[in-house]
Structure 1
Amino acid sequence: MSNYPNPLIEQRADPHIWLHSDGHYYFIASVPEYDRLEIRRSKTLTGLADAPAKIVWRKPDSGPMSALIWAPELHFIDGKWVIYYAAAPSQEIKDGLFQHRMYALVCEDADPLKGKWIEKGRIQTPIDSFSLDATHFGHQGKSYYLWAQKDPAIRGNSNLYIAEMENPWTLKSPPVMLSKPELDWEIIGFWVNEGPAVITHGDKIFITYSASATDENYCIGLLTADVHSNLLDASSWHKSPHPVFTTHATNKQFGPGHNSFTRNEQGDDVLVYHARNYTEIEGDPLYDPNRHTRIKNIRWDDNGLPDFGEPAADNRPLTLQKLP
């Protein structure tokens, strides 16, 4: 049984928590100003709430990475710390989209809060278009990159792509599109598949992703594949016909999404996500700062599928008894 404060960290969207081999939890997320990358570290999951934030990088005043620093993730790959993030050259919208591209920072020192971070530049993909929300996972000895990107030939704002990696900042294989926004709940406000995250359980591997506009319509969908399948074959993946984690009006939790996964101190799988506690947003929801980081345990059903339950109300400790 686990008790978590809710929210865990206020005004931090697109949260990512990395549980490292040193036993510490590392937290990174979008800040409301979209101008920097900062890392928190704690020996406990809930201790991240009060852990000091160390700024490891600030956006330059001009150039391709000078605006709207979005959705960073911190990973440890091949003995190196890596931060993936998206950035734009300006805050102007062109052709209905921001102009984000994906970038990587690398730190070869043991301590990512004290070490030197080096810009590795843009992650190059075959299409030069709006791209963001990169994540990484290793599976059966291979290294994979998973992200969201606009294809001008496909209707919508972004689709989900996967590729094998040569190194943490270079693709090895051609990208494969795994999902595009097509179901009713994926195309409310905007046609969006974004924010992918990976978790493995038993004989299945799962990709969660977020869909629709970043208001109360934002929600989480699910792709499932067999762990022994070819992950670069789109036919290996099955899309759930309904979202698996959605707004809960009674609990006043709106637009839960852009999740990641970690484990608590007891080894239970934990969903990390953001959500607001109101719908009355003035102006563009993107610039509303109150998407708060929240966490909750995941249940696994008899078929080995994740049950995310419902987003709990604010100021109510999350108590979740594991299934027998």
Structure 2
Amino acid sequence: MTTNPIILQRADPQILLHSDNRYYFIASVPEYDRIELRRADSITELATTADIVTVWHKPDSGPASDLIWAPEIHHIFGHWVIYFAAAPNREIFNDAFQHRMYALTCHDEDPISGKWTFAGQVDSGIDTFCLDATVFTHQQQHYYVWAQKHPVHKGNSCLYIATLADATTLNSQPVMISRPEFEWEIKGFWVNEGPAVIIRNGKIFISYSASATDERYCLGLLWAGEHENLLDPKAWHKGPRPVFASRPEADIYGPGHNSFTRDREHTKDYLVYHARNYTDIQGDPLWDPNRHTCVQTFHWDEQGFPVFGEPQPEMNDD
């Protein structure tokens, strides 16, 4: 078995199994100054023999010149796109949390050797702090899901959904589908963020992260029926309890900001997430570099819902 964590100091991890049957890995780097991309033939090789390239480095000034967070790579509308959150330079604006969503695009077949171009802001139409975008396709419609501060509701971020006209342009008004409300979603900060989508068993599931980014960080779950109008907030249901949380007896704390992937035979589903192995964080948890990438299998219950269990010290790849 492969031991967790599989990649050190990589928070907000995403692993994509592409149609070329290779794995692509992307995550926040501790310096928050660039976007790295890895590719390998297996999940475990992402940590050992992967091709690693820096596809973009932040500029010294401008709206996307600081705190590069939570990139995600997707192949959509016939080309590659990386979504990421960025803020203006703190030394100029004296405020660390003015993030908006941006995108890079690559029209070459190979995203490792191909040319990446800064495509500008992905404008939600709401001029507030936002981050953590992902995309999915359902019934030939492309959807964009992200976290953003609501202009009125209390909290740091809520979850929104919209359709896409192209990879960087929304085609519908943003619809809020979840906001922090339960006790486990408002510890330290009122947060719903880091959405990740998996479609199975007649449902669209969205996992998300809640509370502060220390040991209180955890995963919640939303779901909607596959025939529902996904732009209708009433189509979405929220579980009343976290579905994945810290496991002190295994020294795994604050598991969150996950993504989903599969084995190459499509027989196993994997939960990809970050976690720390201690709670004694000096200062703001965002500046602690030791959120590590972990991977483990999960299964499905008789009702067709994902069962993540508890954070495990092994990937369970045998």
Q: Which TM-score tier does this pair reach, normalised by the shorter chain? A: over 0.9
Residue number in structure 2 paired with 1:218? 217
- The alpha-carbon deviation at position 97 of structure 1 amounts to 6.8
Tell me, in whole angstroms, the C-alpha distance in 2 between the residues paired with 1:265 and 1:223.
Answer: 27
Residue number in structure 2 paired with 1:319? 316
Residue number in structure 2 paired with 1:124? 123
Percent identity of the aligned residues? Answer: 60
Counterparts of 1:282-293 in structure 2, within 5 Å, are: 282-293=282-293
Matched, 1:308 2:305: no
Matched, 1:266 2:265: yes
Aligned residues: 316
Residue number in structure 2 paired with 1:10? 8
Counterparts of 1:1-324 in structure 2, within 5 Å, are: 3-50=1-48, 51-91=50-90, 98-267=97-266, 268-313=268-313, 317-319=314-316
- Tell me: CA distance 1:157–1:93, structure 2 relative to 1, closer, same or farther (3 Å): farther
- The alpha-carbon deviation at position 151 of structure 1 amounts to 1.5
Give the alignment's TM-score, normalised by structure 2: 0.96
Most deviating of 43-52 and 73-82:
43-52
Give the alignment's TM-score, normalised by structure 1: 0.95
- Tell me: CA distance 1:93–1:237, structure 2 relative to 1, closer, same or farther (3 Å): farther
- Tell me: CA distance 1:95–1:114, structure 2 relative to 1, closer, same or farther (3 Å): closer
Gaps of 5+ in 1: none
What's the CA shift string for 1:52-87, capped at 9, x where partnerless? 420010000111111000000000002100000000
Contact conserved, 1:45 with 1:265, CA < 8 A, in 2? Answer: no
- Tell me: CA distance 1:121–1:101, structure 2 relative to 1, closer, same or farther (3 Å): same
Superposed CA RMSD = 1.6
Q: Secondary structure at the residue paired with 1:33?
A: coil
- Tell me: CA distance 1:93–1:225, structure 2 relative to 1, closer, same or farther (3 Å): farther
Gaps of 5+ in 2: none
- The alpha-carbon deviation at position 320 of structure 1 amounts to 7.6
Contact conserved, 2:72 with 2:82, CA < 8 A, in 1? Answer: yes
- The alpha-carbon deviation at position 245 of structure 1 amounts to 0.2
Matched AA of 1:255: G
Tell me, in whole angstroms, the C-alpha distance in 2 between the residues paired with 1:300 and 1:118.
Answer: 39
- Tell me: CA distance 1:80–1:184, structure 2 relative to 1, closer, same or farther (3 Å): same
What's the CA shift string for 1:236-275, capped at 9, x where partnerless? 1110000000000101100000000010133111110000
